[in-house]
Amino acid sequence: EKGGYEHFMLKEIHEQPESLANAIRGRLDFNLGSSVLSGMGTSSRDLAEINRVVLLGCGTSLHAGLVGEYAFEDLADLHAEVHQAAEFRYRNPLIGRSDLVVAISQSGETADTLAAVREANQKGAFVMGLCNVVGSTIARETGRGVYLHAGPEISVASTKAFTCQVAVLLMIALKLARGRRYSREQGMHLAKQIDSIPEFVRATIAQNEAIAELARHYADNEHAFFIGRGCMYPVALEGALKLKEISYIHAEGYHAAELKHGPIALLEEGTPVIAIATDIPGKDKTLGNVEECRARGARILGVITEGDEEAAAYMDDVIRVPACDPLVSTIPATVALQLLAYHIARIRGCEIDQPRNLAKSVTVE
Ligand code: F6R
């Protein structure tokens, strides 16, 4: 059932080119430079009335929402905010008819996300689900949405659901962008980039052996930092979450600029710093932060864009991802970090598919 892989997690990481192709297939209109997401159940008038996007989720799904926030703002000029689903419910969420609420949940059963969906429905917002499990409670209660089509995710640590969530969020953002400031040409360009995601991910997975090799340098530490800026900040959070949940290494994800406001005090000789420094706006600033870490003796692993020798020169080790649109590159960058976490956990002899204290679906608040 693991298809020859040692763990479900590794199998699911390798399935991503296929699961992403399934999430994307039939949903892009190259001619109009837009996306076709019929499950959203929106007319162009509905779309025009939306003036804010509120993204809800927990854990890895929350991190997908954080990437989505950049996409809605950058592409569609839409005010976007992300709420941890539990928090959303226990404050007084100021939402109403002009808000598009996107509930993100692989299982579609997470209690906090479900409660937030009920609250948003109650307040009359335009609520949709981004679920993987067909017919799940959140999918049913939202009544509209976009299924991920990632296929069953068995490993407790979420991998292919995350990358499909981001791909679908990019398609929703593209659709909204086209009704706003995005031209047909811009839309066509992004549609082609989204269509190439499976290929970008395949090229990243092709480095599996090399990642397994460099993971040895990071398996003996009890702490690690992940840093990134812009849309790579949520990728840093997701990389840290993956590492801590399966390897039990204490990992922190930080915005690269935030390090010197406190956490840099923890760096010692050999502390691992994983810098997501792909070629996106702000990369030079991230490289500057890498330099500050190096000066404190940190060992730096960079996730960089293929061919970027300038960035490579800052790093002790590198994982290269294909050159692509910045938002799209969050997907291969995350795949690189999934493989890194996997190999570190394997070297440490951890129960990868069933980490201690965790359950696949969290149905209590
Ligand atoms: C981490 C992980 C969890 C889930 C979270 C939400 O790898 O799997 O953080 O992402 O429990 O689950 P869903 O997406 O099913 O609502």
pLDDT digits (tens, 9 = 90+) for 166-204: 999 999 999 999 999 899 999 999 999 999 999 999 999
- From the list 263, 278, 276, 264, the residue with the least C-alpha distance to 233 is 276
Cα R_g (the chain), whole angstroms: 20
What separation in angstroms does the CA of 94 have from each of 3, 64, 78, 171?
Answer: 47, 22, 16, 26
Strand 34-35 and strand 28-29: pairing?
A: antiparallel
Q: How far is the CA of 59 from the centre of ligand 1 (A)?
A: 5
Give the residue-averaged pLDDT of 240-259: 97
For the chain, list the strands marked E by DSSP.
28-29, 34-35, 52-57, 79-84, 99-105, 126-131, 223-228, 250-255, 272-276, 299-305, 317-321
Ligand 1 pocket residue status of 113, Cβ below 6 Å: yes
Give pLDDT, residue 363: 78
Q: How far is the CA of 69 from the centre of ligand 1 (A)?
A: 18
Q: How far is the CA of 126 from the centre of ligand 1 (A)?
A: 23
Q: Quick one: DSSP state of residue 236?
A: H
Which of 63, 66, 83, 106, when mutated, tests ligand 1's pocket best, judged by the most ligand atoms within 8 Å of its CB? Answer: 106
Give pLDDT, residue 162: 98
Ligand 1 pocket residue status of 10, Cβ below 6 Å: no
Q: With a cut of 90, say whether residue 354 has pLDDT above it.
A: no
Q: How far is the CA of 251 from the centre of ligand 1 (A)?
A: 17
Could you write out the DSSP letters of every residue in 48-98?
Answer: HH--EEEEEE-HHHHHHHHHHHHHHHHHH--EEEEEEHHHHHHS-----TT
pLDDT tens sequence across 102-131: 999 999 999 999 999 999 999 999 999 999
Give the residue-averaged pLDDT of 57-70: 98
Give pLDDT, residue 139: 97
Phi, psi of 80 (to 5 degrees): -130, 140
Q: How far is the CA of 10 from the centre of ligand 1 (A)?
A: 17
- In which element (H, E) is residue 193 found? helix 184-195
Q: With a cut of 90, say whether residue 46 has pLDDT above it.
A: no
Ligand 1 pocket residue status of 137, Cβ below 6 Å: no
pLDDT tens sequence across 312-352: 999 999 999 999 999 999 999 999 999 999 999 999 999 99
* Type of residue numbered 41: G
What separation in angstroms does the CA of 13 have from each of 8, 190, 212, 301?
Answer: 8, 24, 14, 20
- Model confidence at 365, pLDDT cuts 50, 70, 90, reads confident
Ligand 1 pocket residue status of 329, Cβ below 6 Å: no
Ligand 1 pocket residue status of 362, Cβ below 6 Å: yes
Task: Catalogue the active-site residues.
Answer: 360
Give the ipTM of the model, two decimals please: 0.99
Ligand 1 pocket residue status of 159, Cβ below 6 Å: no
Q: Strands of 99-105's sheet, edge to edge?
A: 79-84, 52-57, 99-105, 126-131
With tokens 């976007």, the residue in question is 80
pLDDT tens sequence across 74-88: 999 999 999 999 999
For 58-209, list the strands marked E by DSSP.
79-84, 99-105, 126-131
Global pTM value = 0.97
Ligand 1 pocket residue status of 47, Cβ below 6 Å: no
Contact criterion met (CB below 8 Å) for 105 and 61: yes
CA 107 to ligand 1: nearest atom: 15
CA 362 to ligand 1: nearest atom: 11
Which of 58, 238, 244, when mutated, tests ligand 1's pocket best, judged by the most ligand atoms within 8 Å of its CB? Answer: 58
Give pLDDT, residue 45: 82
